[in-house]
Amino acid sequence: MQPPAGSPGPGAAAGAELLRWQWREVQAPCLVAAWILVASLAKIVFHLSRKVTSIVPESCLLILLGLGLGGIVLAVAKKAEYQLEPNMFFLFLLPPIVLDSGYFMPSRLFFNNIGAILTYAVVGTLWNSFATGAALWGLHRAGLMADPGVEAGLMDFLLFGSLISAVDPVAVLAVFEEVHVNETLFIIVFGESLLNDAVTVVLYKVFNSFVELGPAHIRATDYVKGVASFFLVSLGGTAVGLLFAFLLALITRFTKRVRIIEPLFVFLLAYVAYLAAEMVSLSSILAVTFCGICCKKYVEANISQKSRTTVKYTMKTLASSSETIIFMFLGISAVDTSKWAWDTALVLGTLFFILLFRAVGVVLQTYVLNRFRLIPLDRIDQVVMSYGGLRGAVAFALVILLDRDKVKAKDYFVATTIVVVFFTVIVQPCTLSPSQSFPCLLLPFQGLTIKPLVKWLKVKRSDHHKPTLNEELHEHAFDHILAAVEDIVGHHGYHYWRDKWEQFDKKYLSQLLMRKSAYRLRDEIWDVYYKLNIRDAISFVDQGGHVLSAAKLALPSMPSRTSMSESSVTNLLRESGSGACLDLQVIDTVRSRRDKEDAAMHHVLRGSLYKPRRRYKASYSRHFISPDKQERQDKEIFRQNMKRRLETFKSTKHNICSSKSKARLKEKGRKKKNISLTSDAHNGKTHRNVPWQEAAPVLVMISSEEEESDSSETEREDDEGIVFVARATDEVLQGKTTAGSLDVCPSPCIIPPSPTLAEKELPWKGDQADLAVYISSETTKIVPVDMKKAWNQSISSLESIASPPGIESGPQHRRFACPVLEEQSQSASQAMPEQSSCFQFPSHISKSGRSQSDSSPDGTEQQELQPLMATEDQGRMLPSTEPKWLMFNRASHL
Amino acid sequence: TIFTPEQLDAYQDCTFFTRKEILRLFYRYRDLAPQLVPLDYTDKPDVTLPYELIGSMPELKDNPFRQRIAEVFSEDGDGNMTLDDFLDMFSVLSEMAPRDLKAYYAFKIYDFNNDDYICKSDLEKTVNKLTRNELTPEEVSLVCDKVIYEADVDNDGKLSLEDFQHMIVRAPDFLSTFHIRI
């Protein structure tokens, strides 16, 4: 993509100018953008007609387009302007494709077939290049190459053989993905194309240096060096990849608070791995491939759902556009006849030999491999494999890189390479692809007259059946069983090593590289279950669960509501002011039948009402993506539907998230206790009379940090993608609103902490521990575990004798933990003495304390959540003060 | 000589192995407990490797299925292995063994309470073993329900051998992996 030298520049302007023509400045990026645009538009055009793309692979069309464009450019500019530059190819175009293929490589399949892949990649490539090179040299010696321009010795031909014989990952991927052969076949051909890079690079370099040295000066040690460098290059490249995979996984473990740049790390580190390997002339393709394969498990576990999607799509986009550009430029480059020098014998000989030797190599290796393979590769597989040895842009870039002074026959080699690439990419896929006939222009080639190979040979295609839980389960069980049997017999086979690796991974690597929260989440069986459930849910909603929910919205006290649409329910909620109205029931403390009815109603309401549409502050944040309103509402509708459906199905679907988050938060709480807050708590208790400022600064620091981590923890939940729950929806809802409200939503959480099924009668009878755990991030922060215990005890005693002192600790601590209060230390310190003196009447104290914090102008949203929690907790404990509380509460909200 | 030709023939008939493989497996067997297994089997000594010996192997320490395998393949059902049991086990796992036989033994491994059905409690045991008790009981129960729901053709809430085979046949890759090459 060399920008043309004499492009239209700015016209000479005299004096001051209003606008200036600045083509020169933007020329290079502009051309790049233009080319990408052209290629992408071309793709759209190709796919307009389904018929064309089903017959002709896209890569062929792109090459043909490139030929056309190149022809146009040649005709206009009288010289070939653009072509595939090796540097650009290796530094920018190749890495995305390789990263994409490595990252999305089905790793189990890959490692299951690693033996075969390595054999084909190493032995096969060595065989191909030596045999092709030697055979061409023989042809030359026999005097069959008529053109005297072909001055080449054995080394030149070996060099050419090395670059022409490597199967190209770009071409293989482009073609085989469209053909859909079965998985094993695909992984073998594709894995080979990736892993043979090391061999190609080494052979190319060794022969290149031999050619430069001249055959006379090569000593025996050089050969040894060549062999040694093979191991160095391949193992070194792999090591670089593994190192960066480790780094990447480790980094993503700590990106909890910078979710937005998570995808960046993935791309950046993989690219750095590529460059690092390239820098020390190790195999960069191997580096990126292994980086992708190895980091995936940990990265996927660590990053959020949205980041996962982003990584996926960005990777696919980059790879796809790289591929597009590569093929198009291959076409364009081919037009440049100044680099061509045609020798029929060389071209035909090369074509013949690469096909022949590939076939021979595949047959021989498969013969050996099948003795060791459980599922042998049959004849048809072998045919496809030998025919699927596609050459592509790598060969082209390498041949362009040759030095014309050293390699006299370079022009001939370039021409031959182009022909070979075109032949393999255009002709072979056309026969491979499942079309009935190929009517267009390439009829002369033998391949086209055959019916498409794959279809004709009835190659086992890949069947995309749905993954089932059974498969997952049995796969794991079989792994263990087979490993056990291998252990018993003392036979250290494949299962033995895999088992050992998995244990190692579980014990050390995953512990090190995954977040605590993600670690448990990654249990595959549960994962599959989760995915299946979500799929079921989505399909259900697609079938129109929407209507059902509205129709089923029957409220006992409002008979007319049954037919009410969602929007009117929302209106109803709006009319009644803030959402706190739902909580009015909490006021009553006398247990009566009416209360029970109310409680039931309360449950029904909370279960079936849609949350009111909120007004969000128009906010823009570069660092957080806030789910927009529509999305929220959709999610909510979705959740409601799911709930209803699952209730009707009665298939014991259960709350997925809450249990998880519960566990996670509990763990959090425990950890906290261990770190700091235990001591803080004691401080809080023992130094009650000490002026607050003394203890405050330290506490504030710690808790603010913890709060941050906590809130991002809840945000993580928020990022979990579609969360559906069958029961106790609101916990999750609440978690969401809490997270969202931290930076977006000014209004407080409306719905009170919901009861679990465990509490049968009244909402306010919930066990406090649970509430404290998952009410909101703040509460968790506030109440360390030991405090919670004390609290619980006091509450249980409260129920009988209603003795207040235990409550004291709650609010006080909360105040300690609240970072915002630092600014109000003045006022708070005034409140403090009072507090410690009238210890017995915590409600008043906390009220006064609260009134200060609430009415303070800079009280933030976090705080607004907090009082709500507090009121509810306290309201339950001290019913007599409740009405005031609630009023107060509402006032602060409104 | 370890075996008489008649013994070898009998073993050959009962298993999917050749003589050479049988001898190799015998040595493997003997390696487990050289002090217990005599080198002369011609007089059919009554040798049994106790389960403790197998279960205490360091390699097996972390394997959740070690006891179950020994139990299923041992004749007395307690995990004590004779040479015949040992050969049987590998015979089932050899490539020559037919798919139905493999499915049958896989089924038996899952069927913890030996009632010829994989019921929910069996599955829960399996899942717990596989996940090393990392899932909560609720989650395990959900997963098991789903597994049964997926594979239960006759809707009786438990998986019979037919259900199991049907499921295995639907996913052809499965039993092809249930192999060990000695």
Query: Which pLDDT band holds residue A319 (cuts at 50, 70, 90)?
Result: confident
Q: What is the pLDDT of residue A791?
A: 57
**Is pLDDT above 80 for B61?**
no
- Answer whether residue A808 shows pLDDT above 50: no
In this prediction, residue A10 has a pLDDT band, given cuts at 50, 70 and 90, of very low
For A487-515, write each residue's pLDDT tens digit.
776 666 777 777 788 888 877 887 788 77
- Indicate if the pLDDT at residue A826 is higher than 70: no
Q: Does position A569 have pLDDT exceeding 60, yes or no?
A: no
Q: What is the pLDDT of residue A574?
A: 41
What is the predicted pLDDT for the residue at A805? 44
Same domain, B81 and B117: no
B27 within domain boundaries: yes
Q: How far apart are CA A442 and CA A449, in angstroms?
A: 10
What six digits make up the tokens of B160? 């019979």
Amino acid at A409: A
Indicate which of A465, A470, A528 best probes the interface with B, i.e. most B CBs within 10 Å of its own CB: A470
- Shared domain for B19 and B81, answered yes or no, is yes
d(Cα A224, Cα A230) in Å, to the nearest integer? 10
Could you read off the pLDDT of A619-641 as tens digits, one per residue?
566 666 655 656 666 666 667 67
Contact A376, A313 (CB under 8 A): no
Query: Is there a contact between B164 and B151 (Cβ–Cβ < 8 Å)?
Result: yes
pLDDT at position A74, please?
80
SS (H, E, C) A807-823: HHHHHHHHHHHCHHHHH
User: In the prediction, which pLDDT does A240 show?
Assistant: 94
Report the distance separating Cα A712 and Cα A379, nearest Å.
56
The CATH number covering residue B171 comes to 1.10.238.10
Interface A:B, Cβ pairs < 8 A: 131
Residue B69 lies in a domain: yes
**So what's the pLDDT on residue A815?**
43
Which of B93, B113, B130 terminates a domain? The answer is B93
Q: Could you tell me which residues are beta bridge partners of residue A181?
A: A461
Cα nearest neighbour of A492 on chain B: B182
Q: Are residues B89 and B103 in the same domain?
A: no
Distance to chain B for A505, nearest Cα, Å: 13
**Does residue B103 lie within any of the structural domains?**
yes
Return contacts of A453-458, CB within 8 angstroms, 24+ apart.
A453/A383, A453/A384, A453/A387, A454/A179, A454/A181, A454/A384, A457/A380, A457/A383, A457/A384, A458/A380
Which of A486, A489, A520 has its CB closest to that of B134?
Answer: A520
- Cβ–Cβ gap A469/B174 under 8 Å: no
Distance of alpha carbon A420 from alpha carbon A398, whole angstroms: 14
Has residue B61 been placed in a domain?
A: yes
pTM of this structure = 0.63
Task: Indicate yes or no: CB of A473 within 8 angstroms of CB of B178.
Answer: no
Q: How confident is the model at residue A239 (pLDDT cuts 50, 70, 90)?
A: very high
> Is B32 inside a domain boundary?
yes
A478 → closest Cβ in B129, B142, B177:
B177
**Chain position carrying tokens 């021979």:** A360
Mean pLDDT of A253-278: 89
Per the CB < 8 Å rule, is A473 touching B28? no
Please indicate, yes or no, if residue B9 is contained in any of the structural domains: yes
Candidate from A475, A480, A490 with C-beta closest to B64: A480
Say if CB A525 and CB B130 are below 8 A apart: yes
Q: What is the pLDDT of residue B56?
A: 74
Residues B68, B123 within the same domain:
no
Mean pLDDT of chain A: 66
Is pLDDT above 70 for A27?
Answer: yes
Q: Cβ–Cβ of B65/A477 closer than 8 Å?
A: yes
Pairwise CA distance, residues A640 & A648, whole Å: 12
Length of chain B: 182
Residue A805 contacts B, CB cutoff 8 Å: no
Q: What is the mean pLDDT of residues A696-718?
A: 41
CB contact under 8 A, B181 and A374: yes
From chain B residues 4-23, the ones with a CB under 8 A of any chain A CB are none
- On whether residue B182 sits in a domain, the answer given is no
Q: Which residues of B fall within a CB distance of 8 Å from A477?
A: 65, 109-110, 126, 130
Place of tokens 């299923």: B72
Q: Is the dihedral of CA A65, A67, A70, A71 positive or negative?
A: negative
With helix as H, strand as E and coil as C, how does chain B read?
CCCCHHHHHHHHHHCCCCHHHHHHHHHHHHHHCCCCCCCCCCCCCCCCECHHHHHCCHHHCCCCCHHHHHHHHCCCCCCCECHHHHHHHHHHHCCCCCHHHHHHHHHHHHCCCCCCCECHHHHHHHHHHHHCCCCCHHHHHHHHHHHHHHHCCCCCCCECHHHHHHHHHHCCHHHHCCCCCC
pLDDT of residue A661: 44
pLDDT attached to residue A746: 43
| B18 plus B35 within the same structural domain | yes
* Strand-pair partners of B81: B49
The band of A16, judged by pLDDT with boundaries at 50, 70 and 90, is confident
What's the confidence (pLDDT) of residue A388? 73
Tens-digit pLDDT profile for residues A529-542: 777 777 777 777 77
Q: What pLDDT does B7 receive?
A: 83
Q: Given B67, B93, B119, which residue is the final one in a domain?
A: B93
Amino acid A631: pLDDT: 64
Same domain, B111 and B167: yes
The pLDDT-based confidence of A610 (bands split at 50, 70, 90) is low
pLDDT at A603 over 90: no
A187 touches chain B (CB under 8 A): no
- Looking at residue A348, its pLDDT comes to 86
Shortest Cα–Cα distance, B147 to chain A (Å): 6
- Among the candidates B55, B74, B93, a domain finishes at B93
CB interface of B with A, residues 34-53, below 8 Å: none
pLDDT at A275: 93
Shared domain check, B140 and B73:
no
Structure tokens that stand for A804 in this block: 């207040």
Q: Are residues B26 and B43 in the same domain?
A: yes
A658-692 confidence digits (pLDDT tens):
444 444 444 444 444 444 444 444 444 444 444 44
What A36-42 contacts at long range (C-beta under 8 Å, 24+ apart), as own/partner pairs, is A36/A321, A36/A324, A36/A325, A38/A69, A38/A328, A39/A65, A39/A321, A39/A324, A39/A325, A39/A328, A40/A321, A40/A324, A42/A324, A42/A328
pLDDT reading at A291 higher than 90: yes
Q: Residue B91: is its pLDDT beyond 70?
A: yes
Residue A150 is predicted with a pLDDT of 65
Distances from the Cα of A800 to the Cα of A123, A565, A840, B180, angstroms: 82, 45, 17, 67
A278 has pLDDT over 50 = yes
Residue A790 · residue A782 · CB < 8 Å: no
Q: Which of A132-146, A331-345, B53-67 has the highest mean pLDDT?
A: A132-146
- On whether both B64 and B103 belong to a single domain, the answer is no
Predicted local confidence at residue A345, as pLDDT: 81
Range of the domain at B27: 5-93
Least confident range from A160-169, A340-349, A570-579: namely A570-579
Cα angle: A799, vertex A733, A533; to 5 degrees: 115
Higher pLDDT, B146 or A567: B146
pLDDT reported for residue A277? 92
Say how many domains are in chain B.
2
Hunting for tokens 């792109």 — which residue is that?
A: A62
**With bands split at pLDDT 50, 70 and 90, how would you rate the model's confidence at A147?**
low
The answer as to whether B21 is a domain residue is yes
Taking a C-beta distance cutoff of 8 angstroms, is the pair A99, A272 a contact?
Answer: no
On chain A, the residues whose CB falls within 8 A of the CB of B151 are: 470
Nearest to B147 among A469, A475, A482 (CB): A469
Furthest-apart CA atoms within chain B: distance in Å: 57
Query: Which amino acid is present at A398?
Result: L
| Same domain flag for B112 and B128 | yes
Q: CA-to-CA distance for A54 and A360, rounded, in angstroms?
A: 31
Whether residue B113 is found in the same domain as residue B160: yes
Q: Are residues B89 and B110 in the same domain?
A: no
Tens of pLDDT along A179-188?
Answer: 666 778 888 8
Per-residue CA distances from A360 to A382, A416, B118, B153 (Å): 10, 22, 50, 48
Which of A480, A490, A491 lies closest to B63 in CB terms? A480
The residue type found at A493 is G
**Predicted pLDDT at A273:** 94
For A361-385, give the DSSP string: HHHHHHHHHHTT-SS---HHHHHHH
Residue A871, pLDDT above cutoff 50:
no
**Closest residue to B143, CB basis, from A485, A526, A651:** A526
**Percent of chain A surpassing pLDDT 90:** 5
Chain A residues whose beta carbon lies within 8 Å of the beta carbon of residue B31: 490
Q: What is the pLDDT of residues A88-118, one digit of tens each?
A: 888 988 899 889 888 988 888 888 888 888 8
Q: Are A236 and A283 in contact (CB under 8 A)?
A: yes
pLDDT surpasses 50 at A201: yes
Nearest CA in chain B to A469: B147
Q: What average pLDDT score do residues A590-597 get?
A: 58
What average pLDDT is seen over chain B?
79
Cβ-defined contact of B177 to A654 (cutoff 8 Å):
no
pLDDT at residue A196 is higher than 80: yes
**pLDDT level of residue A271 (50, 70, 90 thresholds):** very high
pLDDT classification of B159: cutoffs 50, 70, 90: confident
Kindly tell me the burial class for residue A441, based on how many C-beta atoms sit within 10 Å of its own C-beta (0-12, 13-18, 19 or more): exposed
Lowest mean pLDDT among A292-301, A394-403, B148-157: B148-157
From A651's Cα to the closest Cα of chain B, the distance in A is: 8
Q: Do A489 and B25 touch (CB under 8 A)?
A: yes
